[in-house]
């Protein structure tokens, strides 16, 4: 049975699909960014998202899809994918391997849509077991690292304000590969000596240009460089990895666990994001695989509410670095979950993915 109605609190159309003891609900939810987000290729002020709620035997799990435009998914594609799901096929929420195979059989790709279902399943099963997922994975929450906080380039006055805003965070992430990026590093260095990590978003054109920049950055307290060259330039990254004094981390070049083995030659580590790999089920496999291949693990996120960020944070104790500031960058979070305390990822002891809805209207 499929029902649709308007959600007054968020002004979005809620779709409800029921079969037996299973109810799958979803609605679009636009994430409003606190500041304009400037990347090498574009800038934007909001991110489209879809919120998912899955109820089985009266227990509800929350999930979320976040769709930054460069990944190719949209509210339309995510809701179209979700509408194909037969809720009956989710009636045993512990059968994650079978459910993922079923989701993959509905359509290839659609990783954010699949992540939304996967996150809700993890929240649900964790609640049924009465345990948070970091505990089910056997991880020590005290080993979760500090998160970086992203500062994008801006006018000198705005930059000063952003640097002050980053005060509680121990590591600052800077987007490079845009005009004026060295000046940005110099400006930040005039205000703070905190470690920096640099994300180039494929913005440098040749391996030599990347190496020149990395040697310059190595003298300025930078701890690693993310995706310096085009994701297609495997040989360029392999050349760079041999010469770079800083670890080179793959982001755009890695989506799922299937990508990891061939990247070990070209990168020192991978940035795992739930919206790229389809959720926690594959993200955990990626982290284990990277470790086995001697690679470093970074856990990242898109701009997301505390729902998807708290799900990703369950894996934080497996990572050298985490970039889990997505919920801090939005002005309309729907959930309370993972917190950053003294710059460190601090996991909630709540079962599942450790979130609670902020609005009554989220919990129907």
Q: Which is nearer to Mg ion, 146 or 225 (CB)?
A: 225
Rounded to the nearest whole angstrom, what is the least distance from the CB of residue 323 to Mg ion in the complex? 8
User: For tokens 């929350």, what's the residue?
Assistant: 62
Rounded to the nearest whole angstrom, what is the least distance from the CB of residue 301 to Mg ion in the complex? 10
Q: Which is nearer to Mg ion, 56 or 277 (CB)?
A: 277
The secondary structure element, H or E, covering residue 188 is: helix 181-191
Angle in degrees, 0-180, between the axes of helices 96-106 and 280-292, rounded to the nearest 10: 110
Q: Which residues bind Mg ion (CB under 5 A)?
A: 199, 226, 251
User: For tokens 């709620």, what's the residue?
Assistant: 53
Q: Which is nearer to Mg ion, 16 or 312 (CB)?
A: 312
**Shortest CA distance to 246 belongs to which of 273, 262, 269?**
269
Rounded to the nearest whole angstrom, what is the least distance from the CB of residue 158 to Mg ion in the complex? 22
Q: What are phi and psi of 170, to 5 degrees?
A: -90, -20
Q: Which is nearer to Mg ion, 94 or 232 (CB)?
A: 232
Q: Which is nearer to Mg ion, 54 or 200 (CB)?
A: 200
Rounded to the nearest whole angstrom, what is the least distance from the CB of residue 312 to Mg ion in the complex? 14
Q: Which is nearer to Mg ion, 226 or 268 (CB)?
A: 226
Written as one string, the DSSP assignment of 132-170 is BHHHHTT--GGG--BBEEEE----HHHHHHHHHHTTT-S
Q: Which residue is nearest to Mg ion (CB)?
A: 251
Q: Which residues contact 296 (CB under 8 A, 6 or more apart)?
A: 224, 247, 249, 268, 269, 270, 290, 320, 321
Written as one string, the DSSP assignment of 74-140 is -HHHHHHHHHT--GGGGSSTT-HHHHHHHHHHH-S--HHHHHHHHHHHHHHHHHHHTSBHHHHTT--
Rounded to the nearest whole angstrom, what is the least distance from the CB of residue 251 to Mg ion in the complex? 4
Structure tokens, 146: 């500090």
Q: Which is nearer to Mg ion, 14 or 328 (CB)?
A: 328
Task: State how far the Cα of 139 lies from the Cα of 317, in Å rounded to an integer.
Answer: 6
Rounded to the nearest whole angstrom, what is the least distance from the CB of residue 219 to Mg ion in the complex? 23
Q: Is 3 within 8 Å of 16 (Cβ atoms)?
A: yes
Rounded to the nearest whole angstrom, what is the least distance from the CB of residue 289 to Mg ion in the complex? 19
Rounded to the nearest whole angstrom, what is the least distance from the CB of residue 253 to Mg ion in the complex? 10
């Amino acid at each position: 049975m499929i029902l649709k109605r308007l959600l007054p609190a968020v002004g979005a159309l809620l779709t409800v699909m029921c079969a037996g003891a299973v109810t799958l609900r979803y609605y679009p939810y636009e994430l409003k960014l606190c500041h304009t987000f400037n990347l090498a290729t574009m800038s934007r002020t909001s991110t489209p998202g879809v919120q998912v709620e899955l109820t089985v035997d009266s227990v509800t799990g929350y999930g979320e899809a976040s769709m930054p435009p460069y990944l190719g998914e949209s509210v339309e594609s995510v809701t179209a994918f979700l509408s194909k799901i037969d809720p009956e096929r989710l009636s045993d929420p512990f059968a994650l391997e079978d459910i993922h195979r079923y989701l993959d059989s509905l359509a290839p790709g659609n990783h954010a849509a699949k992540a939304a279902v996967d996150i809700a399943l993890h929240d649900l099963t964790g609640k049924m077991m009465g345990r948070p997922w970091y505990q089910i994975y056997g991880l020590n929450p005290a080993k979760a690292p500090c998160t970086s906080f992203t500062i994008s380039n801006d006018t000198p006055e705005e930059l000063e304000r952003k640097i002050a805003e980053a005060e509680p965070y121990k590591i600052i992430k800077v987007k490079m590969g845009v005009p004026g990026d060295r000046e940005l590093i110099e400006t930040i260095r005039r205000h703070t000596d905190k470690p920096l990590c640099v994300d180039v978003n494929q913005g440098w054109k040749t391996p030599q240009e990347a190496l020149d920049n990395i040697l310059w950055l190595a003298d300025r307290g930078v701890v690693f460089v993310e995706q310096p060259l085009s994701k297609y330039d495997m040989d360029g990254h392999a050349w760079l990895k041999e010469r770079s004094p800083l670890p080179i981390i793959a982001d755009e070049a890695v989506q799922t666990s299937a990508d990891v083995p061939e990247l070990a030659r070209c990168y020192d580590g991978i940035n795992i994001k739930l919206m790229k790999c389809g959720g926690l089920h594959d993200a955990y496999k990626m982290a284990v695989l990277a470790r086995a291949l001697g690679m470093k693990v970074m856990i990242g996120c898109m701009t997301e509410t505390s729902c998807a960020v708290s799900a990703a944070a369950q894996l934080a104790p497996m990572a050298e670095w985490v970039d889990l500031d997505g919920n801090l960058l939005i002005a309309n979070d729907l959930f309370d979950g993972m917190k950053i305390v003294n710059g460190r990822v601090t996991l909630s002891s709540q079962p599942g993915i450790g979130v609670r809805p902020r609005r009554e209207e989220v919990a129907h």
